[in-house]
Amino acid sequence: MPKKIFFQKCSLKNIYFLLYIIGGTLETIIKYNYLPQYWKEGTDNKIFNLPYRILSLYISNISDLLCLIPYLIRKKLSNPHKEIEKLEIKNEIIEGKNEQDIELIYNDELASASRCKTIIIYSSIIAVLDFLNYFIMHLYVIIFPDKKPYIYNFDCTVPGNIIFQFISSFLILKMRFHKLHLFTLCLNIFIFIVLLIFDLIIIFNYKLLHGIVYLFYTLTLLCLSIEYSLGKKVILSSFISIYFLLLMRGAFKAILSVLYSLIVYFINKDVLKRIYNCLDNKQKILFSIGNIFIQFFENIFLWIIIDKFSPDYIPLAIIIKQVTDFIIDIIISRSIEDSNVMGWDLFIRLLLYVILFIGVMIHNEIIIINMCGLGSNTKYYLDLKLKNEELFSEADDETLKKFETLNEEDKNSEIEHS
């Protein structure tokens, strides 16, 4: 490996990153164009914050339940002949069964029941985590109704999210941390600290943000990182499709949403009544319907990335989406000064995000650095080592054959001389 830095080959599966980013960009554009339509002129906007967020929770539930359609299509298109063959094999076993066969069949039933139990437990936990992702920000709006729940672009939450995702994958998926992963983790921690200092300067010196919102965002990111790792675990251990997992998540989350709505109704009926104001004209209805389908496809592409790659690849899409949101913000506000960043630290934040993106690519072995032992435990290096060992063994076999042939020739020559 004479090269110090080189890239892995791209595959067709990388298109799911592009599709996820397109979905997220469309969702951002729709929100920018139709979000002001939720509030009527001359009214206090803050009273509609919670109803709008509750409606967003309902939209998320419906988008998850729509996964029933691809699940049924996938089930219908699956090969029925394999299932028939399995049934025939089971019937043959049952016809010629003995005590040992009965025990094996019984164990198979226990394994199937255990698998169903595992799916239900993990799906319910994933649904709770996804529900908390919404509910935590609902709490912020309830506790601080006069404060805007917004943060700056290119802030410290993204490197924090990456750190959470790497650690949760390490703990839940039992992924090994080699020198390469420790290097990228330390890099993310460094960038997080630098951006956190910038954010604290803005919060305390300029007083343009409500600092408590960062705590709430941190909790939501922690829930999401654990959710993605648990989702990958149940996909690997129980061999279920992402459509079935999202459908189960939507079903459990719908139950939690109903209970939550009942609590809100008994505490303050007006909150739920104001949801009607979010759907009282065609524009708002079209926005909500469009948001359902956009979130539906966005969720599918996100979980395809988790399924085909790993949760550690999600930060790549998140960083790119952060940049696209920033560009949309500039286009709509028509000025960098009017967008959601400070001028003096903009280019430093952009530079740190570029380094952050490269660090995630190194962590996932898309970029391989063959320096200081960082590339020693990568998949590329191990495959190359295996290939070299196979070539060496083939060479050894040829050498041994030549050596055996020479021994036989020496023995034959000795016999002839004798």
- The per-residue pLDDT for range 279-314, each reduced to its tens digit, is 877 888 888 898 899 999 999 999 999 999 889 999
pLDDT (0 to 100) of residue 57: 94
| Residue located via tokens 């997080």 | 192
Question: DSSP string spanning 155-187?
Answer: -THHHHHHHHHHHHHHHHS-----HHHHHHHHH
| Residue located via tokens 């609902």 | 138
Q: Note the helical H segments in 205-313.
A: 212-238, 242-267, 269-273, 282-308
- Evaluate whether residue 333 is within a structural domain: no
Distance CA 367, CA 166 (A): 17
Parts of the chain with a pLDDT under 70: 1-4, 6-7, 33-46, 79-111, 206-208, 333-343, 371-418
- Evaluate whether residue 400 is within a structural domain: no
**Do 166 and 185 meet the contact criterion of CB atoms below 8 Å apart?**
yes
Distance CA 224, CA 210 (A): 23
Q: What angle do CA 158, 163, 166 make, to 5 degrees?
A: 125
Nearest one of 65, 149, 141, 154 to 342, comparing CA atoms: 154
- Evaluate whether residue 5 is within a structural domain: no
Pair of tokens at residue 352: 């740190």
- Evaluate whether residue 19 is within a structural domain: no
For 61-96, b where at least 16 C-beta lie within 10 A, e where not — what string?
bbbbbbbeebbeeeeeeeeeeeeeeeeeeeeeeeee
Nearest one of 48, 78, 59 to 141, comparing CA atoms: 48
Distance CA 123, CA 308 (A): 19
**Coil, strand or helix: which one is 261?**
helix
Angle between helix 49-65 and helix 282-308 axes, rounded to 10 deg: 50
For 270-306, b where at least 16 C-beta lie within 10 A, e where not — what string?
ebbebbebbeeeeebeebbeebbebbbbbbbbbbbbb
Q: Which DSSP state fits 205?
A: I
Pair of tokens at residue 233: 């675990």
| Residue located via tokens 């009942």 | 262
Nearest one of 55, 60, 14, 53 to 296, comparing CA atoms: 60
Pair of tokens at residue 373: 């032992």
What number of CA atoms fall less than 13 Å from residue 171's CA on the CB side? Answer: 11
**Do 130 and 42 meet the contact criterion of CB atoms below 8 Å apart?**
no
- Evaluate whether residue 200 is within a structural domain: no
CB-count burial class (<10 Å; 0-12, 13-18, 19+) for 100: exposed
pLDDT (0 to 100) of residue 333: 61
**Do 223 and 129 meet the contact criterion of CB atoms below 8 Å apart?**
yes
Pair of tokens at residue 63: 């988008």
Pair of tokens at residue 293: 């389908």
Residues 6 or more apart from 24 whose CB is under 8 A from it?
Answer: 298, 317, 321, 324, 325
What number of CA atoms fall less than 13 Å from residue 385's CA on the CB side? Answer: 8
- Evaluate whether residue 213 is within a structural domain: no
Structural domains in the chain (count): 1
**Do 230 and 122 meet the contact criterion of CB atoms below 8 Å apart?**
yes
How big is the chain by its Cα radius of gyration, in Å? Answer: 28
Q: Which DSSP state fits 334?
A: T
- Evaluate whether residue 210 is within a structural domain: no
**Do 324 and 32 meet the contact criterion of CB atoms below 8 Å apart?**
no
| Residue located via tokens 């803050």 | 46
| Residue located via tokens 């590339």 | 375
Could you list the residue range(s) of the whole structural domain that residue 249 is in?
A: 39-148+238-308
**Do 224 and 133 meet the contact criterion of CB atoms below 8 Å apart?**
yes
pLDDT (0 to 100) of residue 79: 61
| Residue located via tokens 């023995």 | 411
- Evaluate whether residue 394 is within a structural domain: no
